[in-house]
């Protein structure tokens, strides 16, 4: 009987603690909700304290009734939604803290019911002994309170505005640039139109999310200088968006949910419109719940052919993008036609997200000498001819290879990365031509391609500068902790996780140098939207070969890389690790041009989670 008292009160105090911890977020959602949660918590504390000192039957009755009322409210909000607040009429989605609050309130309801039935309770004869017996139960509730209050205090963001315009404490000597102004100006460029339907598709008995029913999505091939108009039709059950990875385009066309647009709701459509300035190999992918949507299949290649291209240069210009969904949906190697002696360009993109370490794919081209003519779509100056080497390609990165088909036999592209996350171990990405296939090379004898010393040096207006207007270090660390209402393997820039990292504030025309310092045992391909880095140095040593231009710099375990760019594209641009689980766990920040504002917010309010 004494234990009954004890646990009744304890569970009520515990529920109150978690109710307090979620109150700040509830206030942000809707002030009456915040007030309600505080009132419930205060009432729980008062009733439990009074009962502790003097267990009146009426008090326990009141306690039982109040608790039941609160639980009925919970039931309504979970089943049909409350009639008020920002999500009026929509059933609430349970998070960890809410679940624990409800569990404790149910427990306390049951216990107080029992208490009412057996009232008045006898006092224990040996309280000390009783106290000892309650240790395990108390510990259990203490753990529940710890998890509940931690997830409650570190909940999902409700509405975070990533704009750089009106941050408190900033000097407002600049004029505001609204997101809506950062669109492509009208012009008479040749127009290329595409429609991409995002939808659920069954392939080999498995459900994928695809563009136009295929994995990868259709290859979009355009010419430099084209105006590309793409309509996204969203037939998925959830919101989505499309980001044009690597392209320098107007910010409002960047496709990032919660920053440059709202996620396109299920059943709606959205049109992107931009002029492609730079030739090269790019790709597109969802940028809403990116961590979940990309591995399901929402990605494809976007190839921009150079304006003055001689169409006879290559007998074939092939593009291949591989990701988690390809392997399982295709279950076979790509084969490309090629005849002996033909000159081939092969554009390779990695969209893999399969494990936590971010270890790059290790591509090996076997069967012909080749050149790496471009990285991330940008030409290499004076690329040397290479034999089989391991080409490390981090997720998001691209390699363009050029080679001549041998007199006989195939050329094959292998991926020698040990697969840790995927059940599928397709070792061959592609074969070209006919005849005997080269055997899988022995990786232990192969050198690793190093972009820091490849090609021939030449001038680079960004890399050759003696000084930069903005210099920022981004130190990458990880540790476990509570975030987004969960216990996560946090990944941080300068000790903070998104969306609460410090943005890098720049002005148009500034030269910006970033240093990435990796204090983890993982690989981080750090990707900047809307700009191209000139790589400056790796581990403190300047690069010695061709200028290297990347939108994603692969920073290996313990490595330090420096990259610089000219801030010539006003907007709010994400910079994040392209290992999407790392970005999901916080490794994401912003390059914000001073004064740029956005009407969109990240968080549960509008359901934007880039
Ligand atoms: Cu390829 Cu922010 O993404
Ligand atoms: Cu991008
Ligand atoms: Cu990473």
**Tokens at 262, concatenated:** 């709202």
- Measured CA distances, 43 to 4, 19, 539 (Å): 20, 11, 59
- Region 274-291 average pLDDT: 97
Cross-strand bridge partners of residue 392 = 362
**Tokens at 147, concatenated:** 């998890």
Q: Write down how long the chain is.
A: 610
Q: Supply the pLDDT for residue 597.
A: 95
- Region 283-306 average pLDDT: 97
**Tokens at 137, concatenated:** 């139960």
Q: Distance between CA 434 and CA 340 in Å, rounded? A: 9
* Tens digit of each residue's pLDDT (9 = 90 or more) over 30-51: 999 999 999 999 999 999 898 8
User: Is the pLDDT score of 240 beyond 90?
Assistant: yes
The sign of the dihedral angle between the CA atoms of 184, 525, 373, 351 is: negative
Q: Supply the pLDDT for residue 51.
A: 83
Nearest ligand, CA 577: 3
Say which DSSP state 603 is in: B
Q: What's the gap between Cα 331 and its chain centre?
A: 26
Ligand 1 pocket check for 398: Cβ under 6 Å: no
Q: Supply the pLDDT for residue 330.
A: 67
Q: Distance between CA 418 and CA 415 in Å, rounded? A: 9
Cross-strand bridge partners of residue 478 = 491
**Tokens at 377, concatenated:** 């779509």
Residue with tokens 């039931």: 75
Q: Supply the pLDDT for residue 52.
A: 81
Q: Supply the pLDDT for residue 503.
A: 96
H or E element, residue 111:
helix 96-117
Ligand 1 pocket check for 285: Cβ under 6 Å: yes
Query: Which of the four pLDDT bands, split at 50, 70 and 90, describes residue 63?
Result: confident
User: Is the pLDDT score of 181 beyond 80?
Assistant: yes
Query: Which of the four pLDDT bands, split at 50, 70 and 90, describes residue 331?
Result: low
Query: Which of the four pLDDT bands, split at 50, 70 and 90, describes residue 121?
Result: low
Q: Distance between CA 41 and CA 49 in Å, rounded? A: 12
Ligand 1 pocket check for 582: Cβ under 6 Å: no
Q: Supply the pLDDT for residue 338.
A: 98
- Ranges 162-166, 455-459, 606-610: which has the least confidence: 162-166
Question: How does DSSP assign 29-47, residue by residue?
Answer: H-HHHHHHHHHHHHHHHHH
Percent of the chain with pLDDT over 90: 80
Cβ atoms of 372 and 550 closer than 8 Å: no
Q: 252 C-alpha to center of ligand 2: Å?
A: 13
Q: Supply the pLDDT for residue 11.
A: 94
Q: 521 C-alpha to center of ligand 3: Å?
A: 10
**Tokens at 386, concatenated:** 């290479």
Q: Which atom of ligand 1 is nearest to the CA of 552?
A: 1
* Tens digit of each residue's pLDDT (9 = 90 or more) over 338-355: 999 999 999 999 999 878
Ligand 1 pocket check for 347: Cβ under 6 Å: no
Closest CA to 303 of 194, 391, 404, 146: 194
**Tokens at 44, concatenated:** 């729980």
Q: Supply the pLDDT for residue 582.
A: 97
Nearest Cα residue to atom 1 of ligand 1? 245
Query: Which of the four pLDDT bands, split at 50, 70 and 90, describes residue 493?
Result: very high
Q: Provide the terminal-to-terminal Cα distance of the chain, rounded to the nearest Å.
A: 53
Q: Supply the pLDDT for residue 457.
A: 98
Cβ burial of 527 (10 Å; 0-12, 13-18, 19+) is buried
Query: Which of the four pLDDT bands, split at 50, 70 and 90, describes residue 220?
Result: very high
What b/e sequence results for 347-366 when a residue is b if at least 16 CB atoms lie within 10 Å of its CB, and e otherwise?
Answer: bbbbbbbbbebbbbbbbbbb
Angle of the 57-79 helix axis to the 31-53 helix axis, nearest 10:
150
Q: Distance between CA 550 and CA 60 in Å, rounded? A: 67
Nearest ligand, CA 574: 1
Q: Which atom of ligand 1 is nearest to the CA of 283?
A: 1
Nearest ligand, CA 580: 3
- Region 198-226 average pLDDT: 95
Cβ burial of 514 (10 Å; 0-12, 13-18, 19+) is buried
- Region 242-260 average pLDDT: 98
- The residues, ordered by sequence, that sit 6+ positions from 161 with a Cβ below 8 Å of its Cβ are 598, 600, 601, 602
Closest CA to 113 of 79, 75, 71: 71
Q: Distance between CA 91 and CA 77 in Å, rounded? A: 6
Ligand 1 pocket check for 242: Cβ under 6 Å: no
Percent of the chain with pLDDT over 70: 95
Ligand 1 pocket check for 227: Cβ under 6 Å: no
Q: Rounded to 5 degrees, what are φ and ψ at 60?
A: -70, -35
Q: How many CB atoms lie within 10 A of CB 204?
A: 9
Q: Distance between CA 520 and CA 524 in Å, rounded? A: 9
Cross-strand bridge partners of residue 371 = 385, 402
User: Is the pLDDT score of 327 beyond 90?
Assistant: no
Q: 245 C-alpha to center of ligand 2: Å?
A: 4
Q: Supply the pLDDT for residue 169.
A: 53
User: Is the pLDDT score of 173 beyond 80?
Assistant: no
Q: Which atom of ligand 1 is nearest to the CA of 529?
A: 2
Q: Distance between CA 554 and CA 549 in Å, rounded? A: 12
Cross-strand bridge partners of residue 361 = 393
Residue with tokens 């396109």: 264
Q: What angle do CA 386, 392, 396 make, to 5 degrees?
A: 125
User: Is the pLDDT score of 159 beyond 90?
Assistant: yes
Nearest ligand, CA 522: 3
User: Is the pLDDT score of 253 beyond 90?
Assistant: yes
SS3 readout for 179-203: HHHCCCCCCCCCEEEEEEEEEEEEE
Longest dimension (CA), the chain: 98
Q: 578 C-alpha to center of ligand 3: Å?
A: 6
3-state helix, strand, coil in the chain (%, to 5): 25, 35, 45
Nearest Cα residue to atom 3 of ligand 1? 245
Query: Which of the four pLDDT bands, split at 50, 70 and 90, describes residue 310?
Result: confident
Q: Is 539 helix (H, G, I), strand (E, B) or coil?
A: coil
Q: 462 C-alpha to center of ligand 1: Å?
A: 23
Average pLDDT along the chain: 93
**Where are the strands (E) in 426-469, listed by range?**
428-432
- Measured CA distances, 389 to 381, 446, 450, 516, 538 (Å): 19, 5, 10, 26, 20
Query: Which of the four pLDDT bands, split at 50, 70 and 90, describes residue 53?
Result: confident
H or E element, residue 26:
helix 2-29
**Where are the strands (E) in 260-337, listed by range?**
269-275, 280-285, 299-305, 316-323, 334-336
Q: Supply the pLDDT for residue 438.
A: 93
Query: Which of the four pLDDT bands, split at 50, 70 and 90, describes residue 417?
Result: confident
- Region 8-28 average pLDDT: 94
Q: Supply the pLDDT for residue 134.
A: 87
Ligand 1 pocket check for 491: Cβ under 6 Å: no
Q: 574 C-alpha to center of ligand 2: Å?
A: 8
User: Is the pLDDT score of 123 beyond 80?
Assistant: no
Ligand 1 pocket check for 524: Cβ under 6 Å: no
pTM: 0.94
Cross-strand bridge partners of residue 269 = 233
Cis status, amide bond into 499, omega within 30 of 0: yes
Cβ atoms of 470 and 506 closer than 8 Å: yes
Q: Supply the pLDDT for residue 423.
A: 53
Q: Which chain residues have CB less than 5 Å from ligand 3, an ion?
A: 358, 524, 577, 579, 582
The sign of the dihedral angle between the CA atoms of 159, 163, 166, 170 is: positive
Q: Distance between CA 487 and CA 168 in Å, rounded? A: 31
**Tokens at 65, concatenated:** 């009734």
């Amino acid at each position: 009987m004494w234990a009954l008292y004890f646990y009744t009160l304890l569970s009520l105090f515990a529920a109150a603690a978690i109710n307090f911890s979620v109150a700040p977020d509830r206030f942000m959602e809707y002030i009456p909700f915040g007030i309600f949660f505080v009132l419930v918590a205060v009432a729980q504390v008062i009733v439990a304290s009074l009962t502790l000192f003097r267990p009146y039957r009426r008090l326990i009755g009141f306690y039982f009734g109040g608790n039941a009322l609160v639980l009925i409210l919970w039931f309504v909000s979970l089943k049909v939604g409350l009639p008020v607040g920002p999500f009026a009429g929509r059933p609430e989605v349970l998070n960890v803290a809410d679940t624990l609050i409800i569990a404790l309130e149910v427990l306390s309801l049951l216990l107080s019911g029992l208490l009412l039935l057996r009232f008045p309770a006898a006092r224990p004869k040996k309280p000390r002994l009783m106290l000892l017996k309650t240790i395990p139960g108390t510990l259990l509730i203490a753990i529940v309170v710890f998890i509940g209050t931690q997830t409650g205090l570190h909940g999902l963001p409700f509405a975070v505005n990533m704009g750089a315009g009106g941050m408190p404490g900033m000097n407002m000597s600049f004029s505001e640039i609204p997101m809506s102004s950062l669109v492509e100006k009208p012009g008479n460029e040749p127009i290329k139109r595409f429609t991409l339907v995002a939808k659920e598709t069954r392939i080999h008995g498995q459900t994928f999310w695809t563009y136009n029913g295929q994995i990868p999505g259709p290859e979009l091939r355009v010419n430099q200088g084209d105006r590309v108009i793409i309509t996204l039709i969203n037939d998925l059950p959830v919101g989505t968006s499309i980001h044009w990875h690597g392209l320098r385009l107007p910010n409002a066309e960047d496709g990032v949910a919660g920053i440059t647009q709202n996620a396109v709701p299920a059943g709606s459509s959205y049109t992107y419109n931009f002029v492609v300035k730079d030739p090269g190999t790019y790709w597109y992918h969802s940028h809403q719940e990116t961590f979940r949507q990309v591995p399901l299949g929402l990605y494809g290649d976007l190839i921009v052919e150079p304006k003055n291209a001689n169409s006879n240069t290559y007998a074939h210009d092939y593009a291949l993008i591989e990701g988690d969904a390809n392997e399982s949906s295709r279950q076979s190697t790509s084969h490309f036609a090629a005849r002996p002696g033909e000159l081939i360009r092969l554009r390779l993109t990695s969209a893999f997200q399969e494990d936590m370490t971010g270890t790059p794919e290790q591509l090996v081209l076997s069967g012909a000498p080749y050149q790496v003519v471009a990285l991330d779509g940008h030409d290499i100056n004076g690329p040397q001819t290479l034999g089989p080497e391991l080409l490390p390609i981090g997720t998001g990165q691209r390699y363009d290879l050029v080679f001549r088909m041998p007199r006989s036999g195939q050329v094959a592209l292998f991926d020698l990365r040990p697969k840790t996350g995927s059940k599928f171990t397709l070792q061959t990405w592609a074969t070209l031509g006919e005849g005997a296939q080269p055997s899988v090379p022995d990786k232990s004898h192969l050198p690793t391609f190093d972009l820091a010393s490849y090609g021939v040096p030449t001038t680079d207006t960004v890399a050759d500068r003696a000084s930069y207007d903005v210099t920022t270090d981004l130190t990458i660390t990880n540790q476990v902790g509570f975030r987004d209402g969960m216990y996560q393997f946090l990944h941080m820039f300068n000790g903070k996780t998104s969306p609460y990292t410090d943005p890098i504030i720049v002005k148009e025309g500034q030269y910006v140098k970033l240093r990435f310092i990796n204090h983890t045992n993982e690989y981080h391909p750090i990707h900047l939207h809307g700009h191209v880095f000139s790589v400056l140095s790796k581990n403190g040593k300047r690069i010695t070969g061709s200028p290297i231009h990347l939108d994603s710099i692969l920073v290996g375990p313990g490595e330090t890389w420096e990259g610089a760019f000219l801030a010539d594209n006003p907007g709010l641009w994400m910079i994040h690790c392209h290992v999407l689980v790392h970005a999901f766990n916080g490794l994401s920040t912003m390059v914000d041009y001073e004064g740029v504002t956005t009407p969109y917010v990240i968080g549960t309010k509008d359901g934007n989670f880039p």
